[in-house]
Chains A and B, each alone.
Chain A
Amino acid sequence: MKLPIYMDNHATTPLDPRVLDAMMPYFTEKFGNAASRNHTFGFDAENAVEQARKQVAALIGADHREIVFTSGATESDNLAIKGVAAMYREKGNHIITCVTEHKAILDSCKHLEKEGYKVTFLPVDDKGLVSLDDLRAAITDQTILITIMAANNEVGVVQDVQAIGKIARERGVLFHTDAVQAAGKIPFNVNDLNVDLASLSAHKMYGPKGVGALYVRRRNPRVLLTPIIDGGGHERGMRSGTLNVPGIVGFGKAAQIAHEELDKEMAEMFRLREKLRATLERELDEVYINGDLKKRLPGNLNMSFAYVEGESLLMGINDVAVSSGSACTSASLEPSYVLKALGVGEDLAHTSIRFGIGRFNTEEEVDYVAKRVIDVVRRLRELSPLYEMAKEGIDLKSVQWAAAEQH
Protein backbone atom coordinates (compact mmCIF):
# COMPACT_ATOMS: atom_id res chain seq x y z
CA MET A 1 0.00 0.00 0.00
CA LYS A 2 1.34 3.39 -1.03
CA LEU A 3 0.98 6.55 1.07
CA PRO A 4 -0.55 9.10 0.92
CA ILE A 5 -3.96 7.59 0.16
CA TYR A 6 -6.30 9.53 -2.12
CA MET A 7 -9.92 9.29 -0.92
CA ASP A 8 -11.31 12.59 -2.20
CA ASN A 9 -12.84 11.35 -5.44
CA HIS A 10 -15.68 13.90 -5.46
CA ALA A 11 -13.11 16.67 -5.92
CA THR A 12 -11.42 14.95 -8.83
CA THR A 13 -10.40 11.45 -9.87
CA PRO A 14 -7.07 10.13 -11.11
CA LEU A 15 -6.82 9.55 -14.85
CA ASP A 16 -7.42 5.91 -15.72
CA PRO A 17 -4.28 4.61 -17.51
CA ARG A 18 -6.50 3.23 -20.29
CA VAL A 19 -7.77 6.77 -20.85
CA LEU A 20 -4.25 8.16 -21.06
CA ASP A 21 -3.33 5.52 -23.67
CA ALA A 22 -6.29 6.56 -25.80
CA MET A 23 -5.36 10.24 -25.55
CA MET A 24 -1.64 10.09 -26.27
CA PRO A 25 -1.68 9.97 -30.11
CA TYR A 26 -3.88 13.07 -30.21
CA PHE A 27 -1.20 15.18 -28.57
CA THR A 28 1.45 14.30 -31.11
CA GLU A 29 0.99 12.72 -34.56
CA LYS A 30 -2.80 13.20 -34.65
CA PHE A 31 -2.76 16.82 -33.65
CA GLY A 32 -5.20 18.13 -36.24
CA ASN A 33 -7.96 20.66 -35.78
CA ALA A 34 -11.31 18.87 -35.89
CA ALA A 35 -12.69 21.79 -37.86
CA SER A 36 -10.17 21.37 -40.69
CA ARG A 37 -12.37 19.72 -43.31
CA ASN A 38 -9.84 19.70 -46.13
CA HIS A 39 -7.05 17.35 -45.05
CA THR A 40 -6.40 14.08 -43.30
CA PHE A 41 -5.14 15.68 -40.08
CA GLY A 42 -8.52 17.35 -39.69
CA PHE A 43 -10.45 14.20 -40.65
CA ASP A 44 -8.58 12.09 -38.08
CA ALA A 45 -9.32 14.60 -35.34
CA GLU A 46 -12.96 14.93 -36.35
CA ASN A 47 -13.45 11.15 -36.48
CA ALA A 48 -11.93 10.82 -33.01
CA VAL A 49 -14.22 13.54 -31.66
CA GLU A 50 -17.29 11.91 -33.22
CA GLN A 51 -16.38 8.55 -31.73
CA ALA A 52 -16.00 10.19 -28.31
CA ARG A 53 -19.34 11.92 -28.79
CA LYS A 54 -20.97 8.51 -29.31
CA GLN A 55 -19.23 7.09 -26.23
CA VAL A 56 -20.39 9.96 -24.01
CA ALA A 57 -23.90 9.79 -25.48
CA ALA A 58 -24.06 6.03 -24.84
CA LEU A 59 -23.23 6.51 -21.16
CA ILE A 60 -26.34 8.63 -20.62
CA GLY A 61 -28.65 7.02 -23.23
CA ALA A 62 -28.55 10.04 -25.53
CA ASP A 63 -28.12 10.54 -29.26
CA HIS A 64 -24.60 11.63 -30.22
CA ARG A 65 -26.00 14.78 -31.84
CA GLU A 66 -27.23 15.86 -28.41
CA ILE A 67 -23.74 16.18 -26.90
CA VAL A 68 -22.05 19.60 -26.84
CA PHE A 69 -18.43 19.49 -25.67
CA THR A 70 -17.32 22.23 -23.29
CA SER A 71 -14.33 23.08 -21.11
CA GLY A 72 -15.94 21.45 -18.08
CA ALA A 73 -19.10 21.27 -16.04
CA THR A 74 -18.90 24.85 -14.79
CA GLU A 75 -19.16 25.99 -18.40
CA SER A 76 -21.91 23.44 -19.07
CA ASP A 77 -23.92 24.75 -16.11
CA ASN A 78 -23.44 28.34 -17.26
CA LEU A 79 -24.43 27.48 -20.83
CA ALA A 80 -27.52 25.56 -19.76
CA ILE A 81 -28.86 28.23 -17.42
CA LYS A 82 -27.85 31.40 -19.22
CA GLY A 83 -28.46 29.83 -22.64
CA VAL A 84 -32.03 28.78 -21.76
CA ALA A 85 -32.73 32.06 -19.95
CA ALA A 86 -31.74 34.13 -22.99
CA MET A 87 -33.49 31.89 -25.54
CA TYR A 88 -36.78 31.64 -23.67
CA ARG A 89 -36.89 35.18 -22.26
CA GLU A 90 -40.14 35.94 -24.06
CA LYS A 91 -41.79 32.84 -22.66
CA GLY A 92 -40.96 33.63 -19.05
CA ASN A 93 -38.41 34.89 -16.56
CA HIS A 94 -38.57 32.38 -13.71
CA ILE A 95 -36.03 29.68 -12.81
CA ILE A 96 -36.25 27.11 -10.02
CA THR A 97 -33.18 25.61 -8.37
CA CYS A 98 -32.19 24.39 -4.93
CA VAL A 99 -29.97 25.62 -2.11
CA THR A 100 -27.51 22.69 -2.13
CA GLU A 101 -26.50 23.11 -5.78
CA HIS A 102 -22.90 23.62 -6.84
CA LYS A 103 -21.70 27.24 -6.97
CA ALA A 104 -21.66 27.10 -10.77
CA ILE A 105 -25.45 26.74 -10.65
CA LEU A 106 -26.13 29.09 -7.73
CA ASP A 107 -23.92 31.87 -9.05
CA SER A 108 -25.27 31.56 -12.60
CA CYS A 109 -28.78 31.95 -11.17
CA LYS A 110 -27.72 34.92 -9.04
CA HIS A 111 -26.19 36.50 -12.14
CA LEU A 112 -29.56 36.21 -13.88
CA GLU A 113 -31.36 37.70 -10.88
CA LYS A 114 -29.31 40.85 -11.44
CA GLU A 115 -30.56 40.87 -15.03
CA GLY A 116 -34.16 40.85 -13.87
CA TYR A 117 -34.94 37.12 -13.80
CA LYS A 118 -36.73 35.64 -10.80
CA VAL A 119 -35.13 32.63 -9.11
CA THR A 120 -36.66 30.29 -6.53
CA PHE A 121 -34.09 28.52 -4.36
CA LEU A 122 -35.92 25.47 -2.99
CA PRO A 123 -34.91 24.27 0.47
CA VAL A 124 -33.97 20.64 1.22
CA ASP A 125 -35.06 18.46 4.14
CA ASP A 126 -32.69 17.12 6.78
CA LYS A 127 -31.76 14.27 4.44
CA GLY A 128 -30.77 16.69 1.69
CA LEU A 129 -33.78 15.98 -0.53
CA VAL A 130 -35.96 18.49 -2.37
CA SER A 131 -39.69 18.17 -1.71
CA LEU A 132 -41.68 17.43 -4.87
CA ASP A 133 -44.64 19.32 -3.40
CA ASP A 134 -42.45 22.39 -2.90
CA LEU A 135 -41.32 22.04 -6.50
CA ARG A 136 -44.87 21.78 -7.85
CA ALA A 137 -45.93 24.77 -5.79
CA ALA A 138 -43.01 26.87 -7.04
CA ILE A 139 -43.84 26.49 -10.75
CA THR A 140 -45.64 29.49 -12.28
CA ASP A 141 -46.68 30.35 -15.84
CA GLN A 142 -43.41 32.29 -16.00
CA THR A 143 -41.19 29.30 -15.17
CA ILE A 144 -38.85 28.39 -18.03
CA LEU A 145 -36.29 26.17 -16.31
CA ILE A 146 -35.89 23.83 -13.35
CA THR A 147 -32.29 23.00 -12.48
CA ILE A 148 -31.78 20.43 -9.74
CA MET A 149 -28.60 18.40 -9.38
CA ALA A 150 -28.67 14.61 -9.72
CA ALA A 151 -26.18 13.83 -6.92
CA ASN A 152 -24.66 16.24 -4.44
CA ASN A 153 -20.90 16.71 -4.38
CA GLU A 154 -20.64 17.00 -0.58
CA VAL A 155 -23.16 14.61 0.91
CA GLY A 156 -23.65 12.37 -2.13
CA VAL A 157 -27.43 12.58 -1.84
CA VAL A 158 -29.23 11.49 -5.01
CA GLN A 159 -32.40 13.46 -5.82
CA ASP A 160 -35.47 11.86 -7.33
CA VAL A 161 -34.49 13.08 -10.78
CA GLN A 162 -37.09 10.99 -12.58
CA ALA A 163 -39.98 12.46 -10.58
CA ILE A 164 -38.63 16.00 -10.93
CA GLY A 165 -38.31 15.48 -14.69
CA LYS A 166 -41.85 14.15 -14.86
CA ILE A 167 -43.22 17.22 -13.07
CA ALA A 168 -41.24 19.51 -15.36
CA ARG A 169 -42.54 17.75 -18.45
CA GLU A 170 -46.16 17.83 -17.29
CA ARG A 171 -45.89 21.56 -16.72
CA GLY A 172 -44.02 22.26 -19.96
CA VAL A 173 -40.88 23.48 -18.20
CA LEU A 174 -37.36 22.54 -19.29
CA PHE A 175 -35.36 20.45 -16.82
CA HIS A 176 -31.59 20.71 -16.43
CA THR A 177 -29.59 18.56 -14.03
CA ASP A 178 -25.98 18.87 -12.94
CA ALA A 179 -25.05 15.20 -13.33
CA VAL A 180 -21.35 15.63 -12.65
CA GLN A 181 -21.25 13.33 -9.62
CA ALA A 182 -23.94 10.93 -10.87
CA ALA A 183 -22.96 10.10 -14.45
CA GLY A 184 -20.68 7.09 -14.57
CA LYS A 185 -21.30 6.38 -10.87
CA ILE A 186 -24.97 5.36 -10.84
CA PRO A 187 -27.41 4.56 -13.68
CA PHE A 188 -28.20 7.83 -15.43
CA ASN A 189 -30.33 7.73 -18.56
CA VAL A 190 -31.71 11.00 -19.88
CA ASN A 191 -34.81 9.35 -21.35
CA ASP A 192 -35.70 7.25 -18.31
CA LEU A 193 -35.20 10.31 -16.11
CA ASN A 194 -37.04 12.89 -18.29
CA VAL A 195 -33.96 15.12 -18.46
CA ASP A 196 -33.73 17.90 -21.09
CA LEU A 197 -30.24 19.21 -20.30
CA ALA A 198 -27.43 17.60 -18.29
CA SER A 199 -23.95 18.78 -17.32
CA LEU A 200 -21.10 16.27 -17.33
CA SER A 201 -17.43 16.43 -16.42
CA ALA A 202 -14.63 14.13 -17.59
CA HIS A 203 -12.35 14.48 -14.58
CA LYS A 204 -14.96 13.17 -12.16
CA MET A 205 -15.05 9.87 -14.07
CA TYR A 206 -11.33 9.11 -14.40
CA GLY A 207 -10.93 11.28 -17.49
CA PRO A 208 -8.85 14.43 -17.99
CA LYS A 209 -9.48 17.87 -16.53
CA GLY A 210 -10.57 20.73 -18.77
CA VAL A 211 -13.26 18.90 -20.70
CA GLY A 212 -16.96 18.42 -20.10
CA ALA A 213 -20.21 18.24 -21.96
CA LEU A 214 -23.74 19.53 -21.99
CA TYR A 215 -26.47 17.17 -23.09
CA VAL A 216 -29.10 19.15 -25.02
CA ARG A 217 -32.30 17.29 -25.95
CA ARG A 218 -33.13 17.36 -29.67
CA ARG A 219 -36.72 16.17 -29.65
CA ASN A 220 -39.74 15.98 -27.34
CA PRO A 221 -38.99 18.72 -26.57
CA ARG A 222 -36.35 20.24 -28.81
CA VAL A 223 -34.20 22.49 -26.61
CA LEU A 224 -32.71 25.65 -28.06
CA LEU A 225 -29.89 27.61 -26.48
CA THR A 226 -28.41 31.03 -26.97
CA PRO A 227 -24.62 30.49 -26.93
CA ILE A 228 -22.59 32.25 -24.26
CA ILE A 229 -19.35 32.07 -26.27
CA ASP A 230 -19.36 33.48 -29.80
CA GLY A 231 -16.94 32.54 -32.53
CA GLY A 232 -16.51 29.97 -35.28
CA GLY A 233 -19.83 28.23 -34.70
CA HIS A 234 -18.43 24.92 -33.47
CA GLU A 235 -20.69 22.36 -31.77
CA ARG A 236 -23.66 23.27 -33.99
CA GLY A 237 -23.34 26.89 -32.99
CA MET A 238 -23.83 26.23 -29.31
CA ARG A 239 -20.22 26.43 -28.24
CA SER A 240 -17.58 28.08 -30.37
CA GLY A 241 -13.90 27.37 -29.88
CA THR A 242 -11.42 24.85 -31.29
CA LEU A 243 -12.20 21.45 -29.84
CA ASN A 244 -9.88 20.01 -27.21
CA VAL A 245 -9.35 16.84 -29.21
CA PRO A 246 -7.12 14.85 -26.80
CA GLY A 247 -9.34 15.85 -23.89
CA ILE A 248 -12.48 14.84 -25.73
CA VAL A 249 -10.94 11.52 -26.79
CA GLY A 250 -10.07 10.89 -23.14
CA PHE A 251 -13.58 11.85 -22.04
CA GLY A 252 -15.03 9.39 -24.54
CA LYS A 253 -12.80 6.56 -23.35
CA ALA A 254 -13.55 7.37 -19.70
CA ALA A 255 -17.29 7.34 -20.44
CA GLN A 256 -17.00 4.02 -22.26
CA ILE A 257 -15.14 2.40 -19.34
CA ALA A 258 -17.56 3.85 -16.79
CA HIS A 259 -20.50 2.55 -18.84
CA GLU A 260 -19.09 -0.95 -19.25
CA GLU A 261 -17.98 -1.32 -15.65
CA LEU A 262 -20.82 0.54 -13.94
CA ASP A 263 -22.53 -2.40 -12.22
CA LYS A 264 -19.32 -3.97 -11.00
CA GLU A 265 -17.91 -0.66 -9.80
CA MET A 266 -21.09 0.42 -8.02
CA ALA A 267 -21.15 -2.83 -6.07
CA GLU A 268 -17.50 -2.49 -5.09
CA MET A 269 -17.77 1.19 -4.08
CA PHE A 270 -20.80 0.34 -1.98
CA ARG A 271 -19.04 -2.57 -0.30
CA LEU A 272 -16.00 -0.44 0.61
CA ARG A 273 -18.12 2.53 1.75
CA GLU A 274 -20.25 0.32 3.96
CA LYS A 275 -17.16 -1.26 5.48
CA LEU A 276 -15.76 2.18 6.28
CA ARG A 277 -19.06 3.37 7.72
CA ALA A 278 -19.64 0.23 9.79
CA THR A 279 -16.11 0.31 11.22
CA LEU A 280 -16.31 3.98 12.20
CA GLU A 281 -19.78 3.58 13.72
CA ARG A 282 -18.72 0.51 15.66
CA GLU A 283 -15.54 2.00 17.11
CA LEU A 284 -16.63 5.59 17.82
CA ASP A 285 -19.59 7.04 19.70
CA GLU A 286 -21.36 10.23 18.62
CA VAL A 287 -20.68 10.07 14.91
CA TYR A 288 -23.42 11.26 12.59
CA ILE A 289 -24.01 10.65 8.90
CA ASN A 290 -24.91 13.78 6.96
CA GLY A 291 -27.52 13.26 4.25
CA ASP A 292 -29.75 10.34 3.37
CA LEU A 293 -27.92 7.04 3.63
CA LYS A 294 -30.01 5.10 1.11
CA LYS A 295 -30.45 7.70 -1.64
CA ARG A 296 -26.74 8.23 -1.89
CA LEU A 297 -23.78 7.74 -4.20
CA PRO A 298 -22.21 4.36 -3.39
CA GLY A 299 -18.72 5.84 -2.83
CA ASN A 300 -19.75 8.75 -0.60
CA LEU A 301 -19.56 8.97 3.16
CA ASN A 302 -20.03 12.34 4.87
CA MET A 303 -19.75 12.04 8.61
CA SER A 304 -19.58 14.39 11.58
CA PHE A 305 -17.31 13.42 14.47
CA ALA A 306 -18.82 15.37 17.37
CA TYR A 307 -16.41 17.39 19.55
CA VAL A 308 -13.52 17.08 17.05
CA GLU A 309 -12.90 20.02 14.75
CA GLY A 310 -12.56 18.92 11.12
CA GLU A 311 -9.31 20.61 10.23
CA SER A 312 -7.54 19.25 13.29
CA LEU A 313 -8.76 15.80 12.28
CA LEU A 314 -7.41 16.27 8.75
CA MET A 315 -4.09 17.36 10.24
CA GLY A 316 -3.94 14.15 12.25
CA ILE A 317 -4.60 11.95 9.22
CA ASN A 318 -2.16 13.80 7.02
CA ASP A 319 -1.33 10.72 4.94
CA VAL A 320 -4.96 10.46 3.84
CA ALA A 321 -6.53 12.92 1.38
CA VAL A 322 -10.16 13.62 2.30
CA SER A 323 -11.98 16.91 2.76
CA SER A 324 -13.81 18.70 5.54
CA GLY A 325 -16.91 20.86 5.77
CA SER A 326 -15.16 22.79 8.51
CA ALA A 327 -14.78 26.52 8.08
CA CYS A 328 -11.08 26.32 8.71
CA THR A 329 -10.37 24.62 5.39
CA SER A 330 -11.87 27.47 3.41
CA ALA A 331 -11.06 31.15 3.28
CA SER A 332 -14.63 32.11 4.21
CA LEU A 333 -14.55 30.97 7.85
CA GLU A 334 -18.10 29.75 7.26
CA PRO A 335 -18.82 26.04 7.45
CA SER A 336 -20.31 24.23 4.46
CA TYR A 337 -23.51 25.84 3.08
CA VAL A 338 -24.68 22.39 2.02
CA LEU A 339 -24.57 21.00 5.55
CA LYS A 340 -26.21 24.17 6.81
CA ALA A 341 -29.04 23.68 4.31
CA LEU A 342 -29.58 20.17 5.71
CA GLY A 343 -30.02 21.73 9.13
CA VAL A 344 -26.73 20.34 10.46
CA GLY A 345 -25.80 22.67 13.33
CA GLU A 346 -22.69 24.77 12.82
CA ASP A 347 -21.07 22.95 15.75
CA LEU A 348 -21.43 19.60 13.94
CA ALA A 349 -20.68 21.09 10.52
CA HIS A 350 -17.25 22.02 11.85
CA THR A 351 -16.62 18.36 12.65
CA SER A 352 -17.58 16.87 9.28
CA ILE A 353 -15.39 14.85 6.95
CA ARG A 354 -16.21 13.83 3.39
CA PHE A 355 -14.78 10.51 2.23
CA GLY A 356 -14.98 9.93 -1.52
CA ILE A 357 -14.13 6.33 -2.40
CA GLY A 358 -13.15 5.75 -6.01
CA ARG A 359 -12.20 3.14 -8.59
CA PHE A 360 -8.59 2.83 -7.46
CA ASN A 361 -9.16 2.57 -3.70
CA THR A 362 -8.54 -0.85 -2.17
CA GLU A 363 -9.97 -2.60 0.87
CA GLU A 364 -6.56 -2.34 2.51
CA GLU A 365 -6.68 1.44 2.08
CA VAL A 366 -10.18 1.63 3.54
CA ASP A 367 -9.03 -0.36 6.58
CA TYR A 368 -6.03 1.91 7.01
CA VAL A 369 -8.14 5.09 6.72
CA ALA A 370 -10.67 3.78 9.24
CA LYS A 371 -7.92 2.94 11.72
CA ARG A 372 -6.24 6.33 11.35
CA VAL A 373 -9.51 8.21 11.76
CA ILE A 374 -10.47 6.20 14.85
CA ASP A 375 -7.06 6.78 16.49
CA VAL A 376 -7.03 10.51 15.78
CA VAL A 377 -10.66 11.10 16.81
CA ARG A 378 -9.99 9.33 20.12
CA ARG A 379 -6.85 11.37 20.72
CA LEU A 380 -8.50 14.68 19.85
CA ARG A 381 -11.51 13.92 22.01
CA GLU A 382 -9.15 13.50 24.96
CA LEU A 383 -8.05 17.02 24.08
CA SER A 384 -11.57 18.39 23.59
CA PRO A 385 -13.20 20.44 26.35
CA LEU A 386 -16.55 19.82 24.63
CA TYR A 387 -16.19 16.05 24.88
CA GLU A 388 -15.25 16.41 28.54
CA MET A 389 -18.27 18.62 29.21
CA ALA A 390 -20.61 16.30 27.33
CA LYS A 391 -19.32 13.34 29.35
CA GLU A 392 -19.99 15.33 32.55
CA GLY A 393 -23.59 15.60 31.40
CA ILE A 394 -23.48 19.29 30.52
CA ASP A 395 -25.88 20.28 27.74
CA LEU A 396 -23.60 22.23 25.40
CA LYS A 397 -26.57 24.06 23.94
CA SER A 398 -27.32 25.58 27.37
CA VAL A 399 -23.83 27.02 27.81
CA GLN A 400 -23.46 30.78 27.44
CA TRP A 401 -20.48 30.84 25.05
CA ALA A 402 -18.20 33.83 25.39
CA ALA A 403 -17.59 34.25 21.66
CA ALA A 404 -21.18 33.80 20.56
CA GLU A 405 -21.93 37.51 20.59
CA GLN A 406 -19.23 38.31 18.07
CA HIS A 407 -20.95 36.25 15.38
Chain B
Amino acid sequence: MAYSEKVIDHYNNPRNVGALPKEDTDVGTGLVGAPECGDVMKLQIKVNAETEVIEDAKFKTFGCGSAIASSSLATEWVKGKTIAEALEIKNTDIVKELSLPPVKIHCSVLAEDAIKAAISDWKKKHD
Protein backbone atom coordinates (compact mmCIF):
# COMPACT_ATOMS: atom_id res chain seq x y z
CA MET B 1 0.00 0.00 0.00
CA ALA B 2 1.30 3.45 -0.85
CA TYR B 3 1.09 5.99 1.95
CA SER B 4 0.68 9.72 1.48
CA GLU B 5 3.66 11.91 2.40
CA LYS B 6 1.77 13.31 5.36
CA VAL B 7 1.04 9.85 6.77
CA ILE B 8 4.70 8.92 6.42
CA ASP B 9 5.75 12.18 8.09
CA HIS B 10 3.46 11.61 11.09
CA TYR B 11 4.56 7.97 11.30
CA ASN B 12 8.26 8.89 11.28
CA ASN B 13 7.86 11.98 13.48
CA PRO B 14 4.75 11.49 15.56
CA ARG B 15 3.69 14.68 17.38
CA ASN B 16 2.82 14.77 21.07
CA VAL B 17 3.63 11.19 21.98
CA GLY B 18 3.35 10.45 25.66
CA ALA B 19 1.04 10.42 28.64
CA LEU B 20 -0.57 12.96 30.98
CA PRO B 21 -1.44 12.04 34.58
CA LYS B 22 -4.89 10.57 34.04
CA GLU B 23 -6.01 11.09 37.66
CA ASP B 24 -5.57 14.90 37.44
CA THR B 25 -8.86 16.79 37.34
CA ASP B 26 -7.76 18.93 34.39
CA VAL B 27 -6.89 15.87 32.28
CA GLY B 28 -9.36 13.97 30.11
CA THR B 29 -8.46 10.54 28.72
CA GLY B 30 -10.04 8.78 25.75
CA LEU B 31 -9.21 5.12 25.06
CA VAL B 32 -10.90 3.76 21.95
CA GLY B 33 -10.60 0.72 19.69
CA ALA B 34 -9.72 -2.84 20.63
CA PRO B 35 -6.60 -5.01 20.28
CA GLU B 36 -8.62 -7.69 18.43
CA CYS B 37 -9.49 -5.11 15.77
CA GLY B 38 -5.88 -4.07 15.34
CA ASP B 39 -6.33 -0.47 16.52
CA VAL B 40 -6.24 1.11 19.98
CA MET B 41 -5.85 4.86 20.47
CA LYS B 42 -5.29 6.67 23.73
CA LEU B 43 -5.71 10.43 23.47
CA GLN B 44 -5.36 12.72 26.45
CA ILE B 45 -6.10 16.43 26.81
CA LYS B 46 -5.21 18.93 29.51
CA VAL B 47 -7.91 21.59 29.76
CA ASN B 48 -7.94 25.00 31.40
CA ALA B 49 -11.14 24.95 33.47
CA GLU B 50 -11.60 28.75 33.20
CA THR B 51 -11.25 29.15 29.46
CA GLU B 52 -12.01 25.56 28.41
CA VAL B 53 -8.98 25.77 26.15
CA ILE B 54 -7.05 22.53 25.50
CA GLU B 55 -3.56 23.50 26.62
CA ASP B 56 -1.85 20.20 25.98
CA ALA B 57 -2.56 16.90 24.27
CA LYS B 58 -0.75 13.55 24.18
CA PHE B 59 -1.39 10.25 22.44
CA LYS B 60 -0.27 6.68 22.14
CA THR B 61 -1.57 4.40 19.39
CA PHE B 62 -1.42 0.69 18.59
CA GLY B 63 -2.36 0.40 14.95
CA CYS B 64 -1.28 0.78 11.36
CA GLY B 65 0.59 3.81 10.03
CA SER B 66 -2.66 5.56 9.14
CA ALA B 67 -3.99 5.08 12.69
CA ILE B 68 -0.79 6.51 14.15
CA ALA B 69 -0.92 9.46 11.75
CA SER B 70 -4.63 10.13 12.44
CA SER B 71 -4.12 10.30 16.19
CA SER B 72 -0.91 12.30 15.89
CA LEU B 73 -2.76 14.82 13.71
CA ALA B 74 -5.69 14.88 16.14
CA THR B 75 -3.42 15.97 19.01
CA GLU B 76 -1.96 18.71 16.83
CA TRP B 77 -5.40 19.99 15.91
CA VAL B 78 -6.98 19.98 19.37
CA LYS B 79 -4.13 21.87 21.03
CA GLY B 80 -5.11 25.52 21.51
CA LYS B 81 -8.74 24.88 20.63
CA THR B 82 -11.61 25.19 23.09
CA ILE B 83 -13.61 22.10 23.99
CA ALA B 84 -16.44 23.35 21.78
CA GLU B 85 -14.09 23.89 18.83
CA ALA B 86 -12.44 20.48 19.28
CA LEU B 87 -15.84 18.80 19.14
CA GLU B 88 -16.25 20.29 15.66
CA ILE B 89 -13.35 18.20 14.26
CA LYS B 90 -14.77 15.61 11.89
CA ASN B 91 -13.16 12.39 10.72
CA THR B 92 -13.61 13.57 7.13
CA ASP B 93 -11.27 16.50 7.89
CA ILE B 94 -8.61 13.97 8.92
CA VAL B 95 -9.23 11.85 5.81
CA LYS B 96 -8.75 14.92 3.64
CA GLU B 97 -5.65 16.21 5.42
CA LEU B 98 -3.89 12.81 5.32
CA SER B 99 -5.31 11.65 1.94
CA LEU B 100 -6.45 8.37 3.53
CA PRO B 101 -7.72 5.69 1.13
CA PRO B 102 -11.21 4.18 1.72
CA VAL B 103 -9.87 1.13 3.62
CA LYS B 104 -8.27 3.49 6.16
CA ILE B 105 -11.29 5.66 6.89
CA HIS B 106 -11.92 3.70 10.09
CA CYS B 107 -8.61 5.10 11.42
CA SER B 108 -9.97 8.65 11.12
CA VAL B 109 -13.26 7.62 12.73
CA LEU B 110 -11.31 6.21 15.65
CA ALA B 111 -9.35 9.47 16.00
CA GLU B 112 -12.57 11.49 16.10
CA ASP B 113 -13.96 9.04 18.68
CA ALA B 114 -10.78 9.44 20.74
CA ILE B 115 -11.16 13.25 20.85
CA LYS B 116 -14.80 12.93 21.89
CA ALA B 117 -13.99 10.28 24.50
CA ALA B 118 -11.24 12.44 26.02
CA ILE B 119 -13.54 15.47 26.20
CA SER B 120 -16.33 13.40 27.68
CA ASP B 121 -13.94 12.05 30.35
CA TRP B 122 -12.83 15.60 31.21
CA LYS B 123 -16.43 16.79 31.39
CA LYS B 124 -17.34 13.94 33.72
CA LYS B 125 -14.71 15.19 36.16
CA HIS B 126 -16.25 18.66 36.06
CA ASP B 127 -19.94 17.84 36.39
User: Quick one: which of B1, B8, B36, B60 contacts A407, CB cutoff 8 A?
Assistant: B36
Complex Cα distance, B40 from A309, in Å, reads 10
User: Quick one: which of A315, A329, A335, A388 contacts B60, CB cutoff 8 A?
Assistant: A388
Q: Which residue of chain A has its CB nearest to the CB of B7?
A: A315
- Inter-subunit contact B35/A401 (CB<8 Å): yes
On chain B, the residues within 8 Å of A383 by CB distance are 14, 17, 60-62, 68
Q: Chain B's nearest CB lies how many Å from the CB of A177?
A: 33
Report A305-351 residues with CB < 8 Å from chain B CB. Answer: 307-309, 311-312, 315-316, 326-329, 331, 333, 335, 345-347, 350
- 0 or 1 for each of B107-125: is its CB under 8 Å from A? (1 = yes): 0001001000100000000
Q: A335-B38, A385-B42 are in contact. Are A309 and B64 (CB under 8 A)?
A: yes
On chain B, the residues within 8 Å of A326 by CB distance are 38, 64
- Inter-subunit contact B41/A311 (CB<8 Å): no
Tally of A interface residues using CB under 8 Å: 32
Check if B86 is an interface residue, CB within 8 A of chain A. no
Complex Cα distance, B69 from A311, in Å, reads 13
- Inter-subunit contact B38/A385 (CB<8 Å): no
Check if B19 is an interface residue, CB within 8 A of chain A. yes
Complex Cα distance, B33 from A327, in Å, reads 15
Check if B63 is an interface residue, CB within 8 A of chain A. yes
- Inter-subunit contact B33/A309 (CB<8 Å): no
Q: A383-B14, A402-B113 are in contact. Are A309 and B62 (CB under 8 A)?
A: yes
On chain B, the residues within 8 Å of A406 by CB distance are 37
Complex Cα distance, B39 from A382, in Å, reads 15
Q: Chain A's nearest CB lies how many Å from the CB of B108?
A: 14
Check if B84 is an interface residue, CB within 8 A of chain A. no
Complex Cα distance, B68 from A346, in Å, reads 19
- 0 or 1 for each of A263-301: is its CB under 8 Å from B? (1 = yes): 000000000000000000000000000000000000000
User: Quick one: which of A307, A312, A386 contacts B64, CB cutoff 8 A?
Assistant: A312
- 0 or 1 for each of A364-407: is its CB under 8 Å from B? (1 = yes): 00000000000000000011111110000000100001111011
The count of A-to-B residue pairs whose CB atoms sit within 8 angstroms is: 91
Complex Cα distance, B66 from A328, in Å, reads 10
- Inter-subunit contact B65/A385 (CB<8 Å): no
On chain B, the residues within 8 Å of A312 by CB distance are 11, 63-65, 67-68
Check if B77 is an interface residue, CB within 8 A of chain A. no
On chain A, the residues within 8 Å of B3 by CB distance are 315
Q: A312-B63, A312-B64 are in contact. Are A385 and B32 (CB under 8 A)?
A: no
- Inter-subunit contact A328/B38 (CB<8 Å): yes
On chain A, the residues within 8 Å of B63 by CB distance are 309, 312
On chain B, the residues within 8 Å of A382 by CB distance are 17
- Inter-subunit contact B11/A385 (CB<8 Å): no
Q: Chain B's nearest CB lies how many Å from the CB of A193?
A: 38
- 0 or 1 for each of B13-42: is its CB under 8 Å from A? (1 = yes): 010010100000000000111111111111
- Inter-subunit contact B11/A403 (CB<8 Å): no
Complex Cα distance, B65 from A404, in Å, reads 21
- 0 or 1 for each of B71-108: is its CB under 8 Å from A? (1 = yes): 00000000000000000000000000000000100000
User: Quick one: which of B8, B35, B68 contacts A347, CB cutoff 8 A?
Assistant: B35
Complex Cα distance, B105 from A328, in Å, reads 12
Q: Chain A's nearest CB lies how many Å from the CB of B120?
A: 11
On chain B, the residues within 8 Å of A315 by CB distance are 3, 8, 11, 64-65
User: Quick one: which of A316, A386, A388 contacts B19, CB cutoff 8 A?
Assistant: A388
Tell which of A326, A327, A383, A406 has the most Cβ of chain B within 10 Å. A383
Q: A315-B3, A331-B103, A385-B31 are in contact. Are A403 and B64 (CB under 8 A)?
A: no
Q: Which residue of chain B has its CB nearest to the CB of A407?
A: B37
On chain A, the residues within 8 Å of B110 by CB distance are 403
Q: Chain B's nearest CB lies how many Å from the CB of A282?
A: 24
On chain B, the residues within 8 Å of A308 by CB distance are 62
- Inter-subunit contact A384/B62 (CB<8 Å): yes
- Inter-subunit contact A384/B60 (CB<8 Å): yes
Q: Which residue of chain A has its CB nearest to the CB of B117?
A: A402
User: Quick one: which of B17, B37, B42, B61 contacts A403, CB cutoff 8 A?
Assistant: B37
Q: Chain A's nearest CB lies how many Å from the CB of B22?
A: 11
- 0 or 1 for each of A247-273: is its CB under 8 Å from B? (1 = yes): 000000000000000000000000000
User: Quick one: which of A311, A347, A387, A403 contacts B65, CB cutoff 8 A?
Assistant: A311
Q: Which residue of chain A has its CB nearest to the CB of B32?
A: A402
Q: A385-B62, A388-B19, A388-B60 are in contact. Are A402 and B33 (CB under 8 A)?
A: yes
On chain A, the residues within 8 Å of B41 by CB distance are 385
- Inter-subunit contact B19/A309 (CB<8 Å): no
List 14 other contacts, CB 8 Å, given A328-B38, A386-B40. A309-B62, A309-B63, A312-B63, A315-B3, A315-B65, A384-B62, A385-B31, A387-B62, A402-B34, A402-B113, A402-B117, A403-B37, A404-B37, A407-B34
